[in-house]
């Protein structure tokens, strides 16, 4: 059975990690190829995390030899802090996530988790330490309970219930005639985008990883649902080390540190207030988003 689920598990991981979704099959297969290329060094130890810090140390990387995407990127996500990553489209935000999951290795520089180079430890232990809540979550054609328990082998019913509570899913589950045993997915109950994302959050809570990678939704959800989900996400991230890829600046204004990425370089970093005072790229992006929201507001009236 494990044999059967391993490819599925990998597919799930690949799917959750790349954000283009199923449409981008080419990219998906490229990731699978890459995964075969990135190998554990013989006798590699497991990653051991006492303090979940993430460090990018002068990372240079590109997908193709003649095009460098990350141009010597250095930053730190201190243990227990919430760090947000913003920047124009194509700046390299998702690339950072893919490198952290070690779907690719940097050309030069290092990525360290609690002082250990992620190239030196097993990929299984690395990925077990990282939780990802993607924008678009995939559900298996199985029960809602299975979809949550999938976060970790051997999760108990008590773990699943606690996770469902943490992801604010209990109201929904209590309304379902078969509760946790209700089939969901294509062949079962169709959940809304927001509900699916809550299942993904619950799955991550079951996994209970020390480091979280959050990929905030761009436009899949209405703003009320999005606000509710963000509240849940922020509660989940509290006390953990988290890196959030943000598309809307308003959602990350309370992050401990905001990293502003531009053309594969760290253009600015600081908290929201400090970056606004700087009147640089972040302040420009903030002003532009505020303007766009005003226009949308006027159009809606
Ligand atoms: P967005 O906000 O639009 O999602 P991003 O900041 O996440 O953008 P990345 O997806 O990291 O940007 O992409 C950075 C650059 O790398 C882009 O120019 C993109 O075209 C390129 N790129 C991404 N994936 C691949 C790939 N598999 N092969 C070749 N180039 C790629």
Residues 162, 165, 166, 172, Cα dihedral to 10°: 140
Residue 97 CA: nearest ligand 1 atom is: 11
In angstroms, the CA 36 to CA 293 distance is 44
Residue tagged 């006027």 (tokens)? 298
In a structure prediction context, what are the per-residue pLDDT tens digits for the chain, which is 301 residues long? Answer: 444 445 555 555 554 444 333 333 334 444 444 445 688 999 999 999 999 999 999 999 999 999 999 999 999 999 999 999 999 888 999 899 999 999 999 999 999 999 999 999 999 999 999 998 877 777 889 999 999 998 888 899 999 999 999 998 999 999 998 999 999 988 888 888 888 889 999 999 999 999 999 887 655 556 677 777 778 888 888 888 999 988 778 778 889 999 999 999 999 999 999 999 999 999 999 998 888 777 766 544 3
Atom in ligand 1 nearest the alpha carbon of residue 261: 6
Nearest CA, atom 18, ligand 1: 90
Helix-, strand-, coil-residue percentages of the chain, each rounded to 5: 45, 20, 35
Strands 257-262 and 108-113: unpaired
Ligand 1 centroid to 94 CA: how many Å? Answer: 7
Ligand 1 lined by 98 (C-beta under 6 Å): no
- Please work out, in degrees rounded to the nearest 5, the angle formed at the alpha carbon of residue 103 by the alpha carbons of 90 and 54: 80
Whether 68 is in the pocket of ligand 1, judged by its Cβ within 6 Å, is no
Residue from 62, 64, 69 whose mutation best tests the ligand 1 pocket (most atoms within 8 A of CB): 69
5 lines ligand 1 (CB under 6 A): no
Query: How many CB atoms sit inside 10 A of residue 214's CB?
Result: 28
Q: Interface pTM (ipTM) of the complex? A: 0.97
């Amino acid at each position: 059975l494990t044999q059967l689920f391993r490819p599925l598990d990998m597919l799930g991981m690949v799917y959750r990690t790349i954000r283009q979704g199923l449409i981008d099959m080419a990219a998906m297969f490229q990731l699978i190829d890459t995964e075969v290329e990135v190998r554990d060094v013989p006798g590699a130890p497991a990653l051991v995390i006492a303090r979940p810090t993430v460090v990018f140390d002068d990372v240079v990387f590109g997908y193709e030899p003649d095009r460098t995407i990350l141009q010597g990127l250095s930053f730190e996500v201190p243990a227990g802090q919430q760090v947000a990553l913003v920047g124009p489209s194509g700046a390299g935000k998702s690339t950072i996530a893919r490198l952290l999951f070690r779907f690719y290795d940097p050309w030069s520089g290092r990525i360290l988790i609690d002082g250990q180079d992620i190239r030196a430890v097993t990929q299984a232990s690395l990925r077990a330490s990282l939780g990802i809540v993607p924008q678009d979550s995939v559900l298996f054609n199985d029960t809602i309970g299975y979809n949550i328990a999938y976060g970790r082998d051997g999760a108990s019913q008590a773990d699943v219930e606690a996770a469902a509570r943490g992801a604010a899913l209990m109201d929904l589950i209590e309304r379902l005639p078969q509760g946790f045993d209700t089939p969901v997915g294509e062949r079962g109950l169709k959940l809304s985008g927001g509900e699916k994302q809550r299942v993904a959050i619950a799955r991550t809570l079951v996994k209970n990883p020390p480091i979280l990678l959050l990929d905030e939704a761009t436009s899949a959800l209405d703003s009320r649902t999005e606000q509710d989900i963000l509240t849940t996400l922020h509660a989940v991230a509290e006390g953990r080390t988290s890196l959030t890829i943000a598309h809307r600046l308003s959602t990350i204004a309370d992050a401990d540190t905001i990293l502003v990425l531009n053309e594969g370089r760290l253009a600015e970093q600081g908290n929201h207030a400090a970056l606004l005072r700087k009147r640089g790229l972040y302040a420009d992006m903030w002003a532009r988003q505020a303007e766009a929201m005003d226009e949308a507001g006027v159009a809606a009236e």
